Amino acid sequence: MSPADENHDPHPLTHPELSPAEAARQRGEDPSNAIGPWPTPPPDTRDPDPKFQPDPALLKRLIGEFGDLGKRHRPRREDVLPYEMIRAFSPGDRGARPTWPPTPCWESPDILLIDASYTGPFDPGRLVGSPISGHSYRLFVRVFNLGLLEAVGTHVRAWYVEPGFFNGEPGIVPHPIGGAYVDLEDRTRPGSQRVVEMDLPWMIPATLTGHECLMAVVACPADPWSGSFDANKDRHLGQRNLDIAVGAQNLGQLIGHLGGKLPDGGALEILHGGAAVVPLLEGVLGGRLRARDGAEVAGRMVAPDLTALRHGVPIDGGLHLMTAARGKSVSMVVPTDVLAAAAPPARGRERSKAPAGGPFARQGAAVRRLRSLGPKALRQIALVGGAGEMAELLPAAVRKMLAIGDLRASSITAALGGAKGAAHLLRFVATDAEGRLIGGYSIVVA
């Protein structure tokens, strides 16, 4: 093929040659105004009324209607983004906060311990309920993504603080234990829930007690943590202020320590958790109750029959056992059934306003009743001491109420009563002078 043939276009693009007059006719003339004229109003439009005033009621109604439409058509957060959480309680926790009152926020079943001498895969049969100072434990955190979007780059972290009612208050610095990264699938797939092991074990110094409070956080870039260590406000944070005592384990020192942590003007209520003990122990111990030395307790875990217990005043879901308060110059502790018997019965309008769950069902009612008593009545029914003596008063009051000489777990269990083999969940709830939650600590005895 010749070069001429290679450059030959079988379909040449050709235009006819036009005369200047024909070209001008086909192109037309440029417009005189490239922007265009101002729009003219319709013929029936009249000038606006100079006396017109907006109707605020109509404006408010329209704003409300548009706001209602926006709420109706706005998707829930978990339907478009990751929705991560560590449970505060079990069963039924789906991330709504706050939980207290009435549900404790410090009994997370998702912070788990296994003795570090075991190096195999996660085994619920090896879970530890009561760690010992000087030992090391592998720390696992069960985390959830309830959203419809995968939670990529999820960071799980864990800390410990000294035993007490820590709920994020300033002045107490949590000590980091470890962390790990993981991806969580969306809630329609099995990988939306995982048990994640921290990269370092919790090595408890011999100077600590083993009763320390544990906290864990789950967060990812699309669902960040607020940074607050208040488990009652943030679903990303789980808290385990819990001790599980079996047999001869003595709780006198721990109960005294909790009493000593009560601040000036604060109050402490001891509640019996009733049937809540079973799901708590199933989550934390995998359905097996063990003594502190690791020996498994025979028999299945059962909740006590509250009607068969010897102490306490009924409230919703449990019993109110004891009330303590600390003033500027005095500390006082009294069993709640004694307090109820000493206080005058409600009359007239007060009786009609009484809560259905009993006189102490409403949060803080027992504390207000205790503070209303005069000095003479107090000394007749309560243990009374100086403002700084709550650490000694509280264990003494528990021993007196139960009529026992020591505070071993077996002694407390027998004194409370109920069926043989039942486990008792005791909740120590601390509030400030205004009745706001400081925090809580739970002890299970069996």
Residue 39's region, left for phi above 0, alpha for psi from -120 to 50, else beta, is: beta
Question: Nearest-CA neighbor of 311 among 163, 413, 433?
Answer: 413
Q: How far apart are CA 397 and CA 91, in angstroms?
A: 33
Are 266 and 439 in contact by the 8 Å Cβ rule? The answer is no
Which residues 6+ apart lie within 8 Å of 334 measured at CB? 322, 323, 324, 370, 378, 381, 382, 383, 397
Model pTM? 0.80
Q: How far apart are CA 390 and CA 395, in angstroms?
A: 9
Question: Which of the two residues, 288 and 217, has the higher pLDDT score?
Answer: 217
Q: How far apart are CA 86 and CA 441, in angstroms?
A: 18
Amino acid at 105: C
Rounded to an integer, the average pLDDT of 91-98 is: 93
Which residues 6+ apart lie within 8 Å of 323 measured at CB? 267, 268, 269, 270, 333, 334, 336, 339, 366, 367, 369, 370
Exposed (0-12), middle (13-18) or buried (19+): which is 173, by Cβ within 10 Å?
exposed
Q: How far apart are CA 387 and CA 317, in angstroms?
A: 32
Q: How far apart are CA 184 and CA 149, in angstroms?
A: 9
Q: Which domains does the chain have, with CATH numbers?
A: 77-240 (2.60.40.10), 242-346+360-446 (no CATH)
pLDDT band at residue 187 under the 50/70/90 scheme: very high
**What was the pLDDT predicted at 173?**
87
Rounded to an integer, the average pLDDT of 395-412 is: 95
- DSSP character at residue 238: E
**What was the pLDDT predicted at 20?**
84
Residues 9-38 pLDDT 10s:
555 556 677 788 887 787 777 766 666 666
Q: Residue 222: count other Cβ atoms within 10 Å of its Cβ.
A: 17
Are 276 and 315 in contact by the 8 Å Cβ rule? The answer is no
**What was the pLDDT predicted at 352?**
44
**What was the pLDDT predicted at 357?**
56
Residue linked to tokens 């720390």: 139
Element (H, E) at 70: helix 56-73
Q: Residue 316: count other Cβ atoms within 10 Å of its Cβ.
A: 12
Q: Residue 351: is its pLDDT beyond 50?
A: no
Respond yes or no on whether the N-terminal peptide bond of residue 39 is cis (omega within 30° of 0): no
Residues 307-329 pLDDT 10s:
999 999 999 889 999 999 998 88
Residue 353: HSE in the Cβ half-sphere, 13 Å Cα cutoff: 7
Respond yes or no on whether the N-terminal peptide bond of residue 344 is cis (omega within 30° of 0): no
Are 108 and 183 in contact by the 8 Å Cβ rule? The answer is no
Question: Nearest-CA neighbor of 256 among 439, 133, 396?
Answer: 396
Q: How far apart are CA 368 and CA 314, in angstroms?
A: 17
Q: How far apart are CA 212 and CA 66, in angstroms?
A: 51
Q: Residue 290: count other Cβ atoms within 10 Å of its Cβ.
A: 19
Handedness of CA 380, 384, 390, 391 (dihedral sign): negative
Average pLDDT, the chain: 87
Best-predicted range by mean pLDDT (8-17, 163-172, 351-360): 163-172
**What was the pLDDT predicted at 147?**
95
Bridge-based pairing of strands 237-240 and 213-219 is antiparallel
- What is the per-residue DSSP string for 315-337? ETTEEEEEEEEE-SS-EEEEEHH
Amino acid at 35: I
pLDDT band at residue 57 under the 50/70/90 scheme: confident
Indicate the range of 82-91, 108-117, 248-257, 350-359 predicted with least confidence: 350-359
Are 438 and 169 in contact by the 8 Å Cβ rule? The answer is yes
Residues 223-235 pLDDT 10s:
999 999 999 999 9
Best-predicted range by mean pLDDT (161-170, 362-371, 428-437): 428-437
Q: How far apart are CA 412 and CA 406, in angstroms?
A: 8
Are 301 and 277 in contact by the 8 Å Cβ rule? The answer is yes
**What was the pLDDT predicted at 135?**
94
Rounded to an integer, the average pLDDT of 335-351 is: 68
**What was the pLDDT predicted at 37?**
63
Amino acid at 252: G
Question: What are the E-state strand segments in 316-389?
Answer: 318-326, 331-335, 383-385
**What was the pLDDT predicted at 18?**
78
Q: Residue 389: is its pLDDT beyond 80?
A: yes
Bridge-based pairing of strands 151-161 and 193-197 is unpaired
Alpha-carbon Rg for the chain in angstroms? 34
